[in-house]
Chain A
Amino acid sequence: MPEMTLVQTLLIAFIQAILIIVFVFVAVPLTIFSERKVLGFVQQRLGSTRVAGRLGGITGLMNRGMWWMGKIPIVHYFRGLPGLVGDIFKLFIKEDVKPAKADRLVYLIAPAISMVAAMMVYAVVSFYPGVLFTIPSWVPIIGGLPVAGAMADVNVGILILLGIASVGVYGIVLGAWASNSKYPLLGGLRSAAQMVSYEVPLTLSLLVPVILAGSLSFGEMTRGVATGSSPWAIPSLVFGFFVYMTCGYAEVNRLPFDMPEAENELVAGFHTEYSGMRFGLFYLAEYINMSVVAAIASAFFFGGPWLLPFGLQSFVPEACWWIGQPHWYIYVAKIFFFLFVFIWVRGSWPRYRYDQIMAVAWKYLIPLALVNLVVAGLVRYFA
């Protein structure tokens, strides 16, 4: 690889950042839309089907025909999609109401902290081991240089990931406090306790792939777990995966652990007093965090860019080499699958009570994760 100057390095990193932003801002609206549709499917209704209830235009004509034939029109099914644009537009143009007694500075920066902490995690996520594509040589300055599949596949990648993710709790707590209102404060306190508690089993369950791969770097861990782990490691990987997913759901405050915004008790939790795009930042941060949890789960337990999960990749015979190749789109497909599972779980599980949530974390998940860690260590030592 040719030696790169500082400007070239920065420009390449800039291109990678834009690719990641494109990925995130395609994934998030799609998740929001599919959440409506999948929840509708789970609850035996159609989900959002129309923007303003009109049946005009070509789609309207086709829809009328299909309704007339007694069928649910397929075009009609996706007619809720423009409503998504309307949603985002509404977030932008809505008046930004600020409570009179709010702490101005903290109120302003809390959503930003949430959003930045959620986005920054993608800096160490490795989408593909090695070079993603090479920039054509006619481009000025950076022509002919390779663009790697990870922005920064550093030596302590997973620790950076956990460190940045742990800063995300400030967005919720500070937003709750700065609103100067009791329901957000209660919601914020609950969520802070919940997120701090669930960080412990989450980290413990992530130590299983660390031990099995013998590295802290994102790319090496993915490769080590997917291609180099022994068959005895599969049970502890599967178990660690379930512990991780449970903690991930609690970390991003999704059902069945969405205590901070338990509507029937706390209005809307920490973002009760937020409106307009500041609420939108919280909203986006939640979905980006979901995609981050999905990305980590699919990288460390589901084989990342390799096809088969839980280290089954090492049993693929030599003849089937095409299965053994890593591809970035396999990884992205896995992320989308886990985003779907988030919605699926939301549709099928009731909410836990607050003391039950804490009991799950401290009485069950932490001991189980510790036992699992010991098993993984034994596998690493003997096998």
Chain B
Amino acid sequence: MFTEIIEILDRFLSFFEQSLAFLGHHLFLIFGLLAIVASVTMVFAKNAVHSVLAFLATMICTAACYFTLQAEFLAVAQLLVYAGGIVVLFLFVVMLVELSRFKENRLFQRQTPLAMFVVLLGVVGFLTMFRRLIFAPSASEALTLSPELAEGLDVAGQNAQAISRGMFTGYLLPFETMSVILLIALIGAVVLAKQERV
């Protein structure tokens, strides 16, 4: 009697463990599907604030995808920059605009056939390019840009160090150029906004 119970428990436990391991291996797929669902919701939501919420969910699911690829720094940067910064500003703008006036009544826009064609083309191109990667299990090792930069580092465990090494040794010029471009955009926005008041 007693041994039977233990046996049943044991079997249940091993089944539980196997299913957990299965889930763990396919976490990337789960979060990827969630991200797709959320982004579809974002497109088709009639209320703009619901769209922003779905966008937030997409960003968080994308960050979770990065986590499953062991790119912790990238995931957290995604969370900080998009979820914490950009989507808040979106929400701010959407809240301030009178929503009822711009309510979408039709589900699709007028240029549907052309847009559908372009999107289909993009999807087909994407699938042919990445067909081997899409249904593969999650990566067990982190991806790096070039292996010689990550010498002496455990890339999966020391994500931030590896990325900073790449940024400040191998790719310093593009990195700084990007920051200058962003700064120019920022100053340009301020100048454009200021002109009306003077």
Contact = CB atoms under 8 A, between A and B. Distances in A.
Interface residues of A, number: 32
Contacts of A199: 84
A82 interface: no
B85 interface: yes
Given A185-B95, A216-B160, A166 B80 contact: yes
B83 A166 contact: yes
A7 B53 contact: no
Contacts of A141: 13
A167 B88 CA distance: 9
Contacts of A106: 49-50, 53
Nearest to B163: A156
A5 B17 contact: yes
Contact of B20 (A6, A156, A173): A6
B80 A10 contact: no
A342 interface: no
A131 interface: no
A163 B84 CA distance: 6
A159 B83 CA distance: 13
A22 to B, nearest CB: 25
B158 interface: yes
Contacts of B91: 170, 173-174, 177, 192
Contacts of B77: 159
A173 B160 contact: no
Interface residues of B, number: 30
Contacts of B137: none
A7 B60 CA distance: 26
A105 interface: yes
A159 B49 contact: no
A268 B20 CA distance: 45
Nearest to A162: B80
Contact of B76 (A6, A7, A159, A193): A159
Given A7-B20, A163-B84, A155 B13 contact: no
B47 interface: yes
A378 interface: no
A150 interface: no
A160 B85 CA distance: 14
A360 interface: no
A178 B47 CA distance: 12
Interface of B: 13, 16-17, 20-21, 24, 47, 49-50, 53, 56, 60, 72-73, 76-77, 79-80, 83-85, 88, 91-92, 95-96, 157-160
15 contacts: A6-B17, A7-B17, A10-B20, A103-B49, A155-B73, A155-B160, A159-B76, A162-B80, A166-B80, A167-B60, A167-B83, A169-B88, A170-B88, A170-B91, A196-B85
Given A160-B76, A188-B95, 15 more contacts: A6-B21, A6-B24, A7-B13, A7-B20, A155-B158, A155-B160, A156-B160, A159-B77, A159-B80, A166-B88, A173-B88, A173-B91, A173-B92, A177-B91, A199-B84
